[in-house]
Amino acid sequence: MISRVLKTLLLGTLLVVPFTAYAQEATLGGTIVDSTNSVLPGVTVTAVHQASGNRFVAVTDGRGVFRMPVRIGEYVLTAELQGFTTITRSGIQLLVGQNAVLNLQLAPSTLQESVTVTAEAPLLDLAGSTLGGNIDPKQMSDLPVQGRDWMSLALLAPGNRTTAMGGAPVQDRTAGRDLREFQLNLDGQQVTGQLGPGGQPRYSRDSIAEFQFISNRFDATQGRSSGVQVNAITKSGTNLLSGMFSGYFRNSKWNAEDPVLNRVVPFKNQQYSMTLGGPIIKDRLHFFGSYEYEHEPRSTVSKRALSAQAKQAARRRRRGTSR
């Protein structure tokens, strides 16, 4: 009984205590100046995550610079300092791995004034020089892929291409060969093998929010990949209770005959997926869970077709062996 109570308390503590070691998903920073372009120290900058209500706060330093690690998603940012007009920027969309720069200008004011700016242009990453790209949440949810292999969407990023290996990321040729090795970081945690294209962990597409593909020039914080880098972020609960259930089916009954085997190769695949997420304490604590089941029985069909010359060579080898 005591052991069960201790386990319950430990689980409750893990759920309630903020995850201070939460993986850094994106960075938002910039410089704040006044109307004469002089830097403003001491400005309080607050970024509110629209989906979850989480708040991230930073204060500009002596150079007027602020920087805060934040989660992916859409934000409303507010900058305020006594004696100056408060500025609010909405529609700020941050993607995984993005180092966004947002410079602001505050005007002096003796009244309680505020300026709200909407329909902002996408923020640019001015701090990095990596070759790659992001697969955003809309692409993850809307684009179809064979077998629901979300890693296949990496083909949309620069510096990637496909091979007969399937959807695994492949870097462009180096020294005349493919670099199929890649490292997968999930929520900042390395969860991949270092060598070979096979045996990599598989995750449900419905549990992945978005990911970043980096072909080269990633920094030391990205890991020890000998090929390419994939940084994926799982979905999180929001203030809106939501979920889904889906099923995907493939069957060889609708396939044409194989041109070599002259028959339909047996194939069946069934995938079931469900997710559920929502608030536990609004704006503070949320939950998200996903489950996926896949059933794919395998069949092997072979056909040996030998030419007349191959048959004669085989008979000669058999006669030589019998002697």
Q: Any idea which of 4-8, 29-33, 285-289 has the lowest mean pLDDT?
A: 4-8
Provide the 10 A C-beta neighbour count for residue 231. Answer: 24
Q: Per the structure block, which two tokens stand in for 139?
A: 């692409």
Q: Any idea which of 42-46, 170-174, 275-279, 280-284 has the lowest mean pLDDT?
A: 170-174
In a domain? residue 165: yes
Higher confidence at residue 213 or residue 170? 213
Is the CB of residue 209 less than 8 Å from the CB of residue 148?
Answer: no
In a domain? residue 319: no
Whether residues 103 and 181 share a domain: the answer is no
Distance of CA 192 to the CA centre of its chain: 14
In a domain? residue 314: no
Share of the chain above pLDDT 70, in %: 67
Task: Report how many domains make up the chain.
Answer: 2
Whether residues 265 and 206 share a domain: the answer is yes
- CATH number of the domain encompassing residue 178: 2.170.130
Is the CB of residue 167 less than 8 Å from the CB of residue 148?
Answer: no
d(CA 89, CA 315): 82
Whether residues 162 and 291 share a domain: the answer is yes
Is the CB of residue 185 less than 8 Å from the CB of residue 222?
Answer: yes
Query: Confidence band (pLDDT; 50, 70, 90) for 20?
Result: very low
Dump pLDDT digits (tens) for 302-317.
666 555 666 677 677 7
Whether residues 237 and 153 share a domain: the answer is yes
Average of per-residue pLDDT across 139-159? 84
Given a cut of 70, whether residue 190 has pLDDT beyond it is yes
> What single-letter DSSP state applies at residue 110?
S
pLDDT for 154 equals 84
In a domain? residue 153: yes
- Give the E-state strand segments of 40-125 in sequence order: 44-49, 55-59, 65-70, 73-80, 86-94, 99-101, 104-105, 114-117
Higher confidence at residue 106 or residue 299? 106
Whether residues 56 and 78 share a domain: the answer is yes
* Long-range CB pairs of 110-119, under 8 A, 24+ apart, other chains included: 110/83, 113/85, 113/86, 114/85, 114/86, 114/87, 114/88, 115/85, 115/86, 115/87, 115/88, 116/87, 116/88, 116/89, 116/90, 117/87, 117/88, 117/89, 117/90, 118/90, 118/91, 119/91
In a domain? residue 305: no
In this structure, the chain runs to a length of 323
Whether residues 138 and 105 share a domain: the answer is no
Range of the domain at 29: 2-117
Q: Per the structure block, which two tokens stand in for 11?
A: 């689980």
Average of per-residue pLDDT across 105-128? 67
Q: Which burial class, exposed, middle or buried, applies to 93 when counting CB atoms under 10 A from its CB (0-12, 13-18, 19+)?
A: middle
What is the CB-side half-sphere exposure of residue 135 using CA atoms within 13 A? Answer: 28
Given a cut of 50, whether residue 175 has pLDDT beyond it is no
d(CA 317, CA 112): 98
pLDDT for 8 equals 47
